Amino acid sequence: MARSALLNVMTQAAMKAGRGLIRDFGEVQNLQVSMKGPADFVSNADRRAEEVIFQELSRARPDWGFLMEERGTVEGRDPQHRWIVDPLDGTTNFLHGLPMFAVSIALERDGQLVAGVILNPAMDELYTAEKGGGAFLNDRRLRVAARQRLPESLFATGIPFLGQGDHAASLYEMRQIMGETSGIRRMGAAALDLAYVAAGRFDGYWERALRPWDVAAGAVLIREAGGFLSGMDGEKFDHMQGDVACGNEFMHKALVEQLRQATLRRQAASASRASDPA
């Protein structure tokens, strides 16, 4: 597959960071058996990967700005272009020696997402997409799954953890979708969830309270693979807002409806508890 100059720049930065993460991943697996544990080591691995990406992209496009997980916002001289970068999506997986983590790089032009690269270095899977150019896994063209029956579908989501997110809402959503589909998966890396929807491995995905670097590259992949994205209530997708629901045209609409039903059930349960004199 012949990539554009832009995608070559993004791919080279992701792969260079990925090589470092694979070396660090081998070390973190060894640290699992130590008393000290690998948490500090993983934080350093994250920062090293981000520094590699920052240097590579700055060298190639010195005037462009950044929005990065660790560095935050870095203003560029060119206000039209901004890189959105997650150097290690799936940090908890990485910390526990699970090979489901990714480097995610997207390009925003005038506020619109125009290119995305997601690399899972542990599995040697490189996902690339550019607006109008299609989506690819390594050299294979991607299309979202064509299924149109919820009982045959497989969805992915994120699950809130200690001190984070709306646990009650998540449980209502999963209970609703469990009853309509063949299964739900929780991968622990939003970028890979989105890439898997683009690749047709998942029929859809939803999650709340994500950050721009979690979803930006994956959103480009899904659109270029023929998929649809919105907020969880069906509103226009905005990578800066944090909520996402996606799939093919049918599954996206069905997912949004199931999430609406989950919200109604939760509201009814809350109203019932409020009216209970006990």
Domains annotated for the chain, with CATH where assigned, are 5-141 (3.30.540.10), 150-273 (3.40.190.80)
What value does the mean pLDDT take over residues 88-92? 93
- pLDDT for residue 32: 54
- pLDDT for residue 43: 81
Following DSSP, what letter does each residue of 17-82 receive, concatenated? HHHHHHHHHHHHHHHTTSSS-SHHHHHHHHHHHHHHHHHHHHHHSTTEEEEETTTEEE--SEEEEE
- Under the banding of pLDDT at 50, 70 and 90, the label for residue 42 is confident
Partner residues linked to 117 by β-bridges? 105, 128
Q: Is 132 left (phi over 0), alpha (psi -120 to 50) or beta?
A: left
Residue type at position 73: T
Would the annotation count 233 as a binding residue?
Answer: no
Indicate if the pLDDT at residue 102 is higher than 80.
yes
Q: What is the largest CA-CA distance in the chain?
A: 68
Following DSSP, what letter does each residue of 161-180 receive, concatenated? -TT-S-HHHHHHHHHHHHTT
Would the annotation count 56 as a binding residue?
Answer: no
What value does the mean pLDDT take over residues 96-122? 97
Would the annotation count 214 as a binding residue?
Answer: yes
Would the annotation count 89 as a binding residue?
Answer: yes
Residues in Cβ contact with 206 at an 8 Å cutoff, skipping those fewer than 6 apart: 155, 157, 173, 232, 244, 245, 246, 255, 259
Cα separation, 140 vs 133, in Å, equals: 13
Beta strands 134-137 and 64-68 are unpaired
Cα separation, 53 vs 242, in Å, equals: 23
Q: Map residue 207 onto helix, strand or coil.
A: strand
| Cβ proximity of 243 and 234 under 8 Å | no
- Under the banding of pLDDT at 50, 70 and 90, the label for residue 165 is confident
Would the annotation count 276 as a binding residue?
Answer: no
Cα separation, 210 vs 192, in Å, equals: 13
Token pair 């080279």 in the structure block, residue: 12
- Could you report the per-residue pLDDT of 183-234, keeping only the tens digit for each? 999 999 999 999 999 999 999 999 999 999 999 999 999 999 999 999 999 9
What value does the mean pLDDT take over residues 137-161? 96
